[in-house]
Amino acid sequence: MSFDAFKDRPCPQWYREAGFGIFIHWGIFAVPAFAPRGRAIHDLMRDHYDDMNAYLPYAEWYENAARLPGSATARRHAKTYANKPYAAFRPAFDEAAQKFDANVWADLFKQAGARYVVFVTKHHDGYCLWPTKVESPWRPGWHTKRDFVGELADAVRSRGMRFGLYYSGGLDWTARPEPIANLGDMFAGVPTERAYADYAAAQVRELIARYKPSVLWNDIAWPSKVDVPPLFADYYAAVPDGVVNDRWFAEDAFFNHLRDPKARAEFNAMMKARIASSDGPLDSPPPPHCDFRTVEYGMGAIPKDKKWEACRGLGLAFGYNRMETPSDYLTGTELIALHRDVTTAGGNLLINVGPMADATIPVEQSVPLRAIGQSIAKKG
């Protein structure tokens, strides 16, 4: 099977008209809940390319940042937790997460005027938020006993919203734990081994079969190009009006090539030159197939001939970052303006909430969500 099977598939009407959705990053990283306050990812890519992840404000990348010598996260981790491994945060998360109430979240998202919700099922740390039957070859049992995915799916759908799933197919630090400082490191860190490709594909098929997600939102890349068209075919067969995003870059030969230090250095030099010579967001080549393109924190040019989605946090992180202050978050007025700008340009806005470990959504995040909900309700 090839991508040609999907070339005439239109983007479903519900997604074209959705306008506003909620993204949720919640997991073990909400226990340390730390990243340096600072600048958005596109600014870091321009000014700190070689070691940008040492400055990254993404709290959900805590495990990686703690491995980067000299980073603020590494210094804080050593001071606060000594040599405690990231996996040791799991018991604290599992205990705190028992306070999770899917109805509380779903009520807030409905009040915000969301048409769809996309929940992170497995982030780069590999920890699964559903009781998967597909065990990790590298860390068996690395998943919750409670079905947070299923509970939220039921609560969201019962309120008339669509439910989608995020899955980190391109990075899994249980399979490849090498520190990632820049883009070259990241692509070199995609696990291309057949054991991982089979594991990821089996988990996504399990998610499709169990939860029938309206959005299948993969992140970073995919380990094997030959596996993607059959996976899409199975998804569309299960969810005929479902949509897939554009982060299924699956050039395993390229990923393997970048594991050579010289090749990676050449790639990084090329990317730095491209960024330095640009006067705006860089265009990225379209994938063989997607239903919509993704723009993250304004990083990437707005597609002219494809439905697109802008995703970002209410602050500068996706996962909850205890270091952020109220001034780091969008106000209700700013969120309403952002939604207007995105939808006027033909996009959907997928705004992220980063709950605390005990599933509390901080007031700095809930207040602007309620404000945009009132705005959307007034417009009808």
Provide the percentage of residues in the chain whose pLDDT is more than 70: 98
Residue 245: the pLDDT is 98
> What does pTM read for this prediction?
0.97
- Report which residue type is found at 98: Q
Residue 53 — very low, low, confident or very high, per pLDDT cuts 50/70/90?
very high
Q: Domain count of the chain?
A: 1
Residue 282: the pLDDT is 72
pLDDT digits (tens, 9 = 90+) for 104-160: 999 999 999 999 999 999 999 999 999 999 999 999 999 999 999 999 999 999 999
CA 22 to chain centre: 12
We report the CATH number of the domain holding residue 229 as 3.20.20.80
Residue 305: the pLDDT is 85
What mean pLDDT do residues 69-94 have?
97
Please count the helices (runs of H) and the strands (runs of E) in the chain.
14, 8
- Work out whether strand 243-244 and strand 215-218 pair parallel, antiparallel, or are unpaired: parallel
For 197, the domain range is 3-379
In the chain, alpha helices (H): 13-16, 41-47, 62-65, 72-81, 90-96, 102-111, 148-158, 183-188, 194-211, 228-238, 252-257, 261-277, 332-344, 363-379
Residue 299: the pLDDT is 57
pLDDT digits (tens, 9 = 90+) for 236-248: 999 999 999 999 9
Q: Which of 82, 45, 40, 87 is nearest to 62 (CA)?
A: 87
Residue 278 — very low, low, confident or very high, per pLDDT cuts 50/70/90?
confident
Q: Specify which residues 71 forms β-bridges with.
A: none
The pLDDT of residue 302 is above 90: no
